[in-house]
Amino acid sequence: MDIDLATLPDDVETLQELVRSLAAERASLSEAKAEIERLNLIIKKLQRSQFGRRAERLDDDQLQLGLEDLNTDLARVEASLALLPAETETSKAQGERPSLPTHLAREDVQLDVEHQACPCCGGPLHPIGETVSEMLDHVPARLRVIRIRRPRYGCRACGTIHQAPAPERPIAKGLATPGLLAHVLVSKYCDHLPLYRQSQIFARQGVELDRSTLANWVGGACWWLEPLQARLAEHVFASQTVFADDTPIPVLDPGRGRTKTGRLWVYARDDRPWNGPEPPAAVYVYSPDRRAERPSSHLAKFKGIVQVDGYPGFERLTERGDIVLAACWAHARRKFYEVHEATGSPVAAEALGRIAELYAIEASIRGQPAPARQTTRRARSLPLVRAMRIWLEAQLNRIPPKGALADAIRYALTRWEALCRFLDDGRIELDNNTVERAVRPIALGRKNHLFAGSDSGAARWAIVASLLATAKLNDVEPFAYLKDVLERMSNGHPMGRLDELLPWHWTRSKAAA
């Protein structure tokens, strides 16, 4: 309440009423601040639960939903108080936010004074500057109809009719433009929005597009994109170091009336940690099972180092003698972490500390050339690794042989040669996290899609996922990329120049344009 101290009322009853109003307002303010404090404590508690014991953790999706609701409650209380920006942590954070991206279109709204004369003295006003502030707005997506008009011309002399040829359509006799196809693909495979939900969204805009129609569009678009997936695979397998992993996806099995478990195998290359010249890329390959011959067939022409997790099926890759496996320290560390979280074991805690020293060294040499990384590792990491093996073997003889801690130590010791591979080659990473990050979007899509409708549907998932993952690795916006690629391919882009459409070349060509 704003009070003008120069014009206070003389009436006692009015003054008493004013005091009561101030007291009530102060009480409301105290209650609101207490509510804000309570909500902030709940938010911090939820955030801490993300790093608690596994049994006490919330599912990531549930955690995010809970935080969204609590932040909404917090904003509602703050809005009801009309607090000054400095009074809450939330407002402080907003005041420190960076400016909005420069590539966004700007629309100016000018708010001017009503009169050009000074209301105080009547003198004329002259401009001395302006205050500019920005707000982020959203313009809802809209559908439009592109009408293709082709005038016909007739020749009176010979009776011939002339007309420009009809343009090629990405889907034969289909209604969808490359832009709409790209939107459907990105919504399904990047934003994890199933086709039936997209159909409902289109219906709200007055356009009835059946789910089967959208499915036909996805199939037609993937037909154009399949050669690009093959080129990505060639690029990934041309490297001498490749990351490999797999993840399950449920696939509908109509013959049995239920789903079966297929696999998406992920292979990635990323030379950036050792300042390599080639761009990063990831390629997904579908198979209906997890048999060991699957990665063997995928890597039939590959020669070099494959960094993997603990799946025994990858061991078959070494039978030819031209592939060497490098193990993942993150997986070895995870075993000790689980033991420490469950039991508080000091042995597990020391193992975590020793592994942390290796990661600290890796952080200091990230981005350096491979020879420099190898030199540093031989000087600093090798003594730590040798000492760790001696210590692990000694601990294994002191603890019960049947237990989680013993299993964690044996997991590391049985893979010790592969875990130490990074010491001999500066191009090898300490862990397999590069490909682990490529697997995460598939896990999220698996939650929303529920299952792939067929083996062919899972293979299409692999095609689009390969392009989307590689686009993200190269800082390419997925929608703009897919839209342009589909336009150019349906307009007759030469297959001999397919490399121009790979994400890293596409970025350069766009920058040059």
User: Is the pLDDT confidence value at 356 over 70?
Assistant: yes
Residue % of the chain over a pLDDT of 90:
49
Q: Of 19 and 461, which is predicted with more confidence?
A: 461
User: Is the pLDDT confidence value at 121 over 80?
Assistant: yes
Min mean pLDDT across 115-129, 446-460, 466-480 is at: 446-460
pLDDT of residue 320: 87
- In this structure, the number of other CB atoms found within 10 A of the CB of residue 393 comes to 12
| Average confidence (pLDDT) over 247-276 | 84
User: Is the pLDDT confidence value at 376 over 90?
Assistant: yes
Supply the DSSP symbol for 318. Answer: G
| Average confidence (pLDDT) over 431-454 | 74
User: Is the pLDDT confidence value at 105 over 80?
Assistant: yes
User: Residue 83: pLDDT band by 50, 70, 90 thresholds?
Assistant: very low
pLDDT of residue 437: 86
User: Is the pLDDT confidence value at 389 over 80?
Assistant: yes
User: Is the pLDDT confidence value at 218 over 80?
Assistant: yes
User: Residue 456: pLDDT band by 50, 70, 90 thresholds?
Assistant: confident
For residues 76 and 70, give the distance between their C-alpha atoms in angstroms, rounded to a whole number.
10
| SS (HEC) of 353-400 | HHHHHHHHHHHHHCCCCHHHHHHHHHHHHHHHHHHHHHHHHHHHCCCC
pLDDT of residue 286: 93
With contact defined as beta carbons under 8 Å apart, do 323 and 303 qualify? yes
For residues 176 and 213, give the distance between their C-alpha atoms in angstroms, rounded to a whole number.
10
Q: Of 258 and 124, which is predicted with more confidence?
A: 124
Burial grade of 179 (CB within 10 A; 0-12, 13-18, 19 or more): middle
Which residues pair with residue 264 across a beta bridge?
Answer: 247, 286
For residues 445 and 440, give the distance between their C-alpha atoms in angstroms, rounded to a whole number.
9
pLDDT of residue 205: 87
User: Residue 265: pLDDT band by 50, 70, 90 thresholds?
Assistant: very high
Q: Of 488 and 74, which is predicted with more confidence?
A: 488
pLDDT of residue 211: 86
With contact defined as beta carbons under 8 Å apart, do 469 and 439 qualify? no
For residues 279 and 439, give the distance between their C-alpha atoms in angstroms, rounded to a whole number.
19
User: Residue 310: pLDDT band by 50, 70, 90 thresholds?
Assistant: confident
User: Is the pLDDT confidence value at 54 over 50?
Assistant: no
User: Is the pLDDT confidence value at 194 over 70?
Assistant: yes
For residues 103 and 100, give the distance between their C-alpha atoms in angstroms, rounded to a whole number.
9
pLDDT of residue 12: 66
pLDDT of residue 91: 42
Give the 3-state secondary structure of residue 457.
helix
pLDDT of residue 139: 78
Min mean pLDDT across 49-58, 238-247, 462-471, 476-485 is at: 49-58
Q: Of 104 and 185, which is predicted with more confidence?
A: 185
| Average confidence (pLDDT) over 151-173 | 91
pLDDT of residue 502: 95
Kindly report each contact of residues 314-321 with a partner whose C-beta sits within 8 Å and lies 24 or more positions away, as own/partner: 314/244, 316/292
Mean pLDDT of the chain: 84
Min mean pLDDT across 26-30, 303-307, 338-342 is at: 26-30
pLDDT of residue 89: 45
